Amino acid sequence: MPFGIKVLRFVAPGILRANTLPAVEQPAPLVGANVAAVRETVDLRVPLLAKNDQIAAGNRANFRARKILALNLVSSPGAGKTTLLSRTLDEFGLTTKCAVVVGDLETDNDARRLARPHAPVAQITTGTACHLDAGMVAKSADSLDLTGVRVLFIENVGNLVCPAEFDLGEELRVVLLSTTEGEEKPLKYPPIFKTAHVVLLTKIDVADALGFDRALAAENIRRIAPQAKLIQLSARSGEGLAEWYALLSAHLFKS
Amino acid sequence: MDAVLQQARTRGANRVHRIVLRIGALAGVEPEALRFAFEVVTRDTLAAGSTLQLEAVPARAFCPVCAAEFDAGMDYVFSCPTCGQLSCDLRQGRELELAQIEMS
Ligand SMILES: Nc1nc2c(ncn2[C@@H]2O[C@H](COP(=O)(O)OP(=O)(O)OP(=O)(O)O)[C@@H](O)[C@H]2O)c(=O)[nH]1
Ligand SMILES: [Mg+2]
Ligand SMILES: [Zn+2]
Ligand SMILES: [Zn+2]
């Protein structure tokens, strides 16, 4: 065993040091001949998962084992998540059993709007938290009878910032952007769009009335999220819904 | 921190002197916040008083057209400097990794 004492003040290139916090310069430890410490530096490459990511990984494994397709729906407040899900339950949900977990700051309005005899719905009241986390979803999904359920929709809290950082264990992350929000939204909130598997451009029935430039919006989405499948739809007129249902069908786990 | 202490214990160490973390530019981790939290979470543990060293990992993306990596920058639009191709194939820059522990 080498009796090596390494100099702790060593700063390798590329090291971030907070300027505001002075580096803690520790006095070299007292090392006399009789108090020599055996120090070793161990090289590790251990990926660290934040706690949320650990729970999310558990959720994902759980959903996959039960062959449930889980989708995390994220958007600004009012982009049309609940309206789209209501219609999806009434149409797609008649032949493919679906369940919903819906997050809301205060009220249970959305859960009541979504309640259907043929689709279990659970409400998560987040209080002050402006996003769902994996633990909330785990608890809530556990409270539902998921027998026979093939699709679990998770309606996140209306917010385009925090949900980007919180994996819920979903198979697909679906980001909704409504025509009322303007074409520039994806450029202003890149992280959430970067992590999207699917982007839904909603309320296209009013696009023309608003002078909304669909081609420009599509181009902005493509720039930020070239990986995402883009569907333009309206939960009101029904345009584009067949494409949405086809996407859901294509991602179902084989039963 | 749990990971650090676990490693230290399984190696029979009594004290942790230095911890090196590698943090990707797009990992969503705030170095300042991490340093701030570090002292609090290490208090009363084997790692009390240890040095936290953070290594920055720049974001690199891969261009499928040129079959080459390029510096992705921080703006989330990854565009190849050679041919302009847009890519979301991030090859590094999201990692959060425990790289090294110095202990005795
Ligand atoms: N014109 C039009 N309006 C729509 C459409 N979908 C939803 N809306 C309207 O948009 C408003 C908000 O819709 P919601 O479905 O509640 O939106 P949400 O994303 O669930 O909202 P939060 O849960 O509060 O974030 C309602 O007034 C809906 O009637 C659509 O396709 N076309
Ligand atoms: Mg809603
Ligand atoms: Zn939040
Ligand atoms: Zn290129």
Q: Where are the domains of chain B?
A: 2-103
The contacts found for A34-37 with CB under 8 angstroms, 24 or more apart, are A36/A3, A36/A5, A37/A5, A37/B15, A37/B104
pLDDT at A91 over 90: yes
Q: Three-state SS for B2?
A: helix
pLDDT at A18 over 80: no
Q: pTM for this one? A: 0.71
Please report the pLDDT score of residue A50 as a whole number: 66
pLDDT at A56 over 60: yes
CA-wise closest residue to A103 among A133, A76, A144, A71: A133
What mean pLDDT comes out for the span A63-92?
97
The span from the CA of A112 to the CA of A82, in Å, is 10
Encode pLDDT of A122-176 as tens digits: 999 887 677 898 999 999 999 999 999 999 999 999 998 878 888 999 999 999 9
Question: Which ligand sits closest to the CA of A157?
Answer: 1
Please report the pLDDT score of residue B17 as a whole number: 95
Domain ranges of chain A: 2-9+45-250
Q: How many CB atoms lie within 10 A of CB A34?
A: 5
pLDDT at A111 over 90: yes
Would you call A229 an interface residue with chain B, using a CB distance cutoff of 8 Å?
Answer: no
pLDDT band at A29 (very low <50, low <70, confident <90, very high): very low
The span from the CA of A252 to the CA of A244, in Å, is 13
- Report ipTM for this prediction: 0.71
Rounded mean pLDDT of chain A? 85
Contacts of B61 (CB under 8 A, 6+ apart): B69, B70, B72, B78, B80, B87, B88, B89, B90, B91, B93
What mean pLDDT comes out for the span A83-91?
98
Please report the pLDDT score of residue A16 as a whole number: 36
**Interface residue of A25, A41, A48, A189 to substitute, partner B, most B CBs within 10 Å:** A48
- For residues B29 and A203, the model is more confident at A203
DSSP tag of A41:
E
The span from the CA of B34 to the CA of B21, in Å, is 10
Please report the pLDDT score of residue A37 as a whole number: 58
Question: Which ligand sits closest to the CA of A132?
Answer: 3
pLDDT band at B88 (very low <50, low <70, confident <90, very high): low
Residue of A72, A82, A89, A204 to mutate, ligand 1, most atoms within 8 A of C-beta = A82
Please report the pLDDT score of residue A110 as a whole number: 94
Please report the pLDDT score of residue B76 as a whole number: 63
pLDDT band at A8 (very low <50, low <70, confident <90, very high): very low
Please report the pLDDT score of residue A3 as a whole number: 36
pLDDT band at A1 (very low <50, low <70, confident <90, very high): very low
Please report the pLDDT score of residue A220 as a whole number: 96
The CATH number for B2-103, chosen from 1.10.10.10, 1.20.210.10, 3.40.1360.10, 3.30.2320.80, is 3.30.2320.80
Question: Which protein residues are within 6 Å of ligand 1, measured from CB?
Answer: A 75, 77-83, 110, 158, 202-203, 205-206, 234-236
- For residues A180 and A11, the model is more confident at A180
Would you call A1 an interface residue with chain B, using a CB distance cutoff of 8 Å?
Answer: no
Residues of B within 8 A of A196 (CB-CB) are none
Asked if A25 and B82 count as a contact pair (C-beta separation under 8 A), the reply is: no
Encode pLDDT of B5-63 as tens digits: 888 888 889 999 999 999 888 776 778 878 888 888 898 999 999 999 999 999 898 88
Tell me the shortest Cα–Cα distance from A42 to chain B, in angstroms.
Answer: 5
CATH class of A2-9+45-250: alpha beta
Asked if A74 and A192 count as a contact pair (C-beta separation under 8 A), the reply is: yes
Residues of B within 8 A of A11 (CB-CB) are 53
Identify the top-confidence range among A29-33, A37-41, A77-81. Answer: A77-81
Would you call A127 an interface residue with chain B, using a CB distance cutoff of 8 Å?
Answer: no
Question: What are the angstrom distances between the C-alpha of A39 and each of A5, A14, B104?
Answer: 6, 24, 4
Whether residues A16 and B75 touch (CB distance < 8 A) is answered with no
What mean pLDDT comes out for the span A68-93?
97
Please report the pLDDT score of residue B75 as a whole number: 64
**Going by CA atoms, what residue is nearest to atom 12 of ligand 1?**
A78
Residues of B within 8 A of A2 (CB-CB) are none
